[in-house]
Amino acid sequence: MTKNTSRVQPANALVQNARRRRFRVATLAALFSVSALYVAWHEAHGPATQRNDELPITQAHADDASQPAAAATSTSAGSDLVKRGEYLARAGDCVACHTANKARPFAGGLPINTPFGTIVTPNITPDPDTGIGQWTDADFLRAMHEGIGKSGERLYPAFPYAEYTKVTDQDVLAIRAYLKTLTPIHYAPPRSDLKFPFNQRWLMVFWNMFNFTEGRFVPDPKQSAEWNRGAYLVGGLAHCEECHTPRNFTQGLKTSSRFSGAVQAGWHAYNITPDKNSGVGNWSDDQLVSYLSTGAVPGRANAAGPMADVITDSTQYLTREDVGSIAIYLHSVPPISGGESRPRDQWGNPAADDVTALRGTTINAVNGAQLFIANCATCHSWTGQGVGASAPGAYPSLIHNSAVGASDANNLAMVILHGVSRTTKQTDVLMPAFGTHLTDDQVAAITNYVTKQFGNPQSTVTVDQVAKLRTQQ
C-alpha cells in the first residue's frame, strides 16, 4: 500500500508541473497575441484616425519673426521652410540631446542614464550611412509622432515622442527640411546598454499602452490664441514635462502631478505650476519671459545646470510672442503645492559680522564661513549680496535666490561642484567648478553655510550626498 502511494505522488507532481508549464505557455501566448493585435490595430487605425492636421494651427505655431516681412516675401518657399525648421528645432532643443561633442553637432552619442541602463542618442545629420540621410519624410513623421524608427523598431521614450506626437505634420516636416541642410557627419554612436528585458524594444508596446496617446494638438476654442500657442509649445516641442514632472514606476510621466517638479541627474527641476509657495505663482508673466530669454531674474532666480543649457540652446531664440504664450499657459495650469512654507526666493538676509568674527581665529576643522569667504566672497560679496546689482553680467545675490532658498540643497551643491555656463544674447555667465579642488566635506560645509546664512536654514546636505552628486553627469 505504501509503495503504491509513493508511486502515485510523483505521478501527480508530474501532472501538476505539466499543467503549470502549459499554463505559462498559454499565458505567454495570450500576451503575445494581445500585443500583436494591438500593433495590428494601431497600424491599421491609429495614425489614419488621428492625423487631422493638414491645415496649420496658426494660433499655436512657433512663428519666426527674425526676418523683416519684405525679406521674407522675397525668399523662396524652400528657404522659408528651412528657416522655420531651424527655429522649430531650437524650440525643441534637438541639439541638446543629439550632440555629445560640439565639434559634431547633431551627430548624437550623448549617453542618457536611466534606471534601466544607458541610452545613447542617435546621429540625426543627413549622413546616409550613420545618420538619417536615407529616411523619407514619412519615416521622420512616424518617428516623431509614433516613436517608431525607419526599420520599424520601437524607439525608447528618452526621445520624447510622447510630446512630439502633438506637433503638426507641417511643423515636423519643416524640422525635417532644416535637418537635411546640416553638414552630414559620418559618425556611428556607441550602442545603448540596457539591461534585459529592457533591451527588447518590442516591449515598448506595453509602455505605450500606459504612457502614450498618439495624436496632434487640438486647440481649445474656449481659450485665447496666446494660451493655445503656449499649450502647443509647452506640451509639444518644448516638452517641459520631461524634466518638470515626476515619473511613475514605468518611468512614464505622472500626469496627476504635471509640472510639480522632479530630480534629473542630481538637479532639481523645480515646480513650475502657479502655486504661490512651491511654484511660480508669485512670478509675473514678464519675469517668466525674462528668465526664459536671459536666464536671470534679479531677486528671484539664475539658471544653472540643464536649465542654463535649455536657455542657451533653445528658449533665448524664441520670439517674445512665443515665450509670452508659454508664460500665459504655465500660469493657467492647476497649482500643485510641494509643502513649502514660503517661496524659494523669499529667504535670507545679508551677513553681518562673519568676517570680523573670523579675524584672529584659529581654524582647526572644516569651517563653512571661512571656506565661503576664501572661495566665494570675491564674486558674491562676504555679505552674500552679490556684485554688480542687476546688470546682465552681475554676480548674483545669494539672498532671495531660488537655489539657496529651496527646500533641498541639491542645486546649490551642484553649482558649487560643477559651476555655471550660460551664454545668451545679453551676456556670457561663467562660474568655475569648485569640485576639482574642494573635497566633499568642504563642499557640504559651504553649501550648509550658505543656506543657513542666506537662504533656507532647514535645507542641508550631507557629505555622502555631495559625493553622490559629484558623480552625476
Longest dimension (CA), the chain: 104
Q: Left if phi > 0, otherwise alpha if psi is -120 to 50, otherwise beta: which for 303?
A: beta
Give yes or no for a contact between 195 and 117, defined as CB atoms under 8 angstroms apart. Answer: yes
| The one-letter amino acid at 49 | T
Of 458, 462, 420, the C-alpha closest to 444 is: 462
As a CATH number, domain 346-470 is: 1.10.760.10
- Residue 107: φ, ψ to 5°: -90, 5
Local structure of residue 334 (DSSP, 8 states): P
End-to-end CA distance of the chain: 71
The mean pLDDT of 324-340, rounded to a whole number, is: 96
Percentage of the chain lying above the pLDDT 70 cut: 82
Beta bridge partners of 269: 262
Of 278, 267, 254, 282, the C-alpha closest to 338 is: 278
Looking at 24-33, 148-157, 447-456, which range is the least confident one?
24-33
Report CA-CA distances (Å) from 105 to 133, 310, 346, 358, 376.
Answer: 15, 16, 40, 50, 34
Show me where the domains of the chain are located.
Answer: 25-224, 346-470
What is the radius of gyration, based on Cα positions, of the chain? 27
Q: Which residue has the cell 500657442?
A: 229
- Grid cell, residue 145, equals 509622432
Taking 50 as the threshold, does the pLDDT of residue 14 lie above it? Answer: no
Determine if the peptide bond prior to 197 is cis (ω within 30°).
Answer: yes
Q: What is the pLDDT of residue 47?
A: 42
Taking 90 as the threshold, does the pLDDT of residue 390 lie above it? Answer: no
Which range scores top for mean pLDDT: 10-14, 98-102, 113-117?
98-102
- Residues, the chain: 473
Taking 60 as the threshold, does the pLDDT of residue 41 lie above it? Answer: no
Name the band, by pLDDT with cuts 50, 70 and 90, for residue 4.
very low
Local structure of residue 335 (DSSP, 8 states): P
Looking at 114-118, 180-184, 278-282, 466-470, which range is the least confident one?
114-118
- Grid cell, residue 473, equals 553627469
Give yes or no for a contact between 269 and 254, defined as CB atoms under 8 angstroms apart. Answer: no
Give yes or no for a contact between 100 and 109, defined as CB atoms under 8 angstroms apart. Answer: yes
Report CA-CA distances (Å) from 324 to 109, 261, 339, 369.
Answer: 34, 21, 28, 41
Taking 60 as the threshold, does the pLDDT of residue 89 lie above it? Answer: yes
Check the CA dihedral 325-90-395-372 and report its sign.
positive
Q: What is the pLDDT of residue 67?
A: 42
Q: What angle do CA 99, 103, 109 make, to 5 degrees?
A: 30
pLDDT digits (tens, 9 = 90+) for 400-450: 999 999 999 999 999 999 999 999 998 899 999 999 999 999 999 999 999
Q: What is the pLDDT of residue 17?
A: 52
Residue scoring higher pLDDT (66 or 88): 88
Element (H, E) at 264: strand 262-264
Looking at 111-120, 168-177, 389-398, which range is the least confident one?
389-398
Residue scoring higher pLDDT (296 or 63): 296
